[in-house]
Structure formats: C-alpha cells, structure tokens
C-alpha cells in the first residue's frame, strides 16, 4: 500500500491561519506574539499561538501549540509549517520547537513570515526547512530498545 500523496501547499492560506491565530496569543510579559499553522497530509490545517506564563518555564510556543492540536486530532504527518512573528525580521522556531517538529518530519518545509506593525511594509517570506534549521536531529531511532 502506498503512502497518500501530500496535498498542494497553499502558502497564502497557511499564512492567513498563522496570522489570525497570532492575534490570539497570550504574551503579556514579552509582548512577542507568534502564530503557527501546520498543514498535514490529509489536507487539514492546525494552528497554535504562544501562551506565556508568569513563571516563564510554563510558556508554550506557537509551533508546539499547533503540534499538540495536530496530535490531539489524531494526525501525525505534517507537510508544511508557517510561523508568523512580528519584529524587525522573521524568526525561526526555537530549539525546543525544532526538536518537537523533528519528531514528526525532518524534511518539513517551513515558511517564516513577519506581520508588520501598522503602516510598515511587509517583508518577503523566508522559506527554509527543518533539516536546514536542525541538522543531525536527534530522533527516536537513536534510542536503544
């Protein structure tokens, strides 16, 4: 039995999902709002935003928030991710998020976008990959069983 074909990547729709959920972020301490949208092989899109906590250690990033939604829905096969931040330049996922994404797909294309402040021009999106951001990722097959 062959693996189902990946759906076409509608980057614009993924960007909109990431930008929309970014507005719902809870970031009262840093003021740094992030949104992420993950497209899975079935064609569904899962989004998440960062949720800060006064202890900081309990903060969850947007990318991991979207991954949790994906897994809770029974999906395990991401094919593309968009991360939306706001700032002087597009920001890549943190190390913890990179490792969390690597649990599911090493060849994952990731599009990084910036939501500009009102009145400022948008920057061009940056397309990268998880393999580029996390070379030699640690994976479950490295564990002795």
Q: Which residues are catalytic?
A: 63
Nearest alpha carbon to residue 93 among 104, 107, 82: 82
Residue 61 annotated as binding? yes
Confirm or deny that 97 is annotated as ligand binding.
yes
C-alpha separations of 57 from 29, 67, 72, 101, 130 in Å: 13, 18, 23, 19, 24
Q: Is 94 annotated as a binding residue?
A: yes
Burial (CB count within 10 angstroms: exposed 0-12, middle 13-18, buried 19+), residue 139 = exposed
First-last CA distance in the chain: 27
Which residue from 40, 38, 36, 127 is spatially nearest to 83, judged by alpha carbons? 36
Q: Count Cβ atoms below 10 Å from residue 129 Cβ, excluding itself.
A: 14
User: Is the torsion defined by CA of 32, 72, 126, 129 positive or negative?
Assistant: positive
Residue numbering of the annotated binding site? 61, 94, 97
Q: Would you list which residues are annotated within the binding site for Zn(2+)?
A: 61, 94, 97
């Amino acid at each position: 039995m062959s693996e189902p074909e990946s759906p076409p990547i509608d980057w614009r729709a993924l960007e909109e999902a990431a930008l929309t959920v970014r507005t719902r972020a809870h970031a009262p301490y840093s003021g740094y709002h992030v949104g992420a949208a993950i497209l899975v092989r079935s064609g569904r899109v899962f989004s998440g935003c960062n949720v800060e906590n006064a202890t900081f250690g309990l903060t969850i990033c947007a990318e991991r928030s979207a991954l949790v939604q994906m897994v809770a829905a029974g999906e395990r096969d991401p094919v593309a991710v968009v991360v939306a931040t706001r700032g002087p330049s597009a920001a890549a996922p943190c190390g913890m998020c990179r490792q969390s994404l690597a649990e599911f797909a090493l060849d994952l294309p990731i599009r990084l976008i910036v939501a500009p402040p009102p009145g400022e021009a948008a920057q061009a999106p940056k397309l990268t990959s998880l393999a580029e951001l996390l070379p030699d990722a640690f994976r479950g097959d490295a564990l002795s069983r």
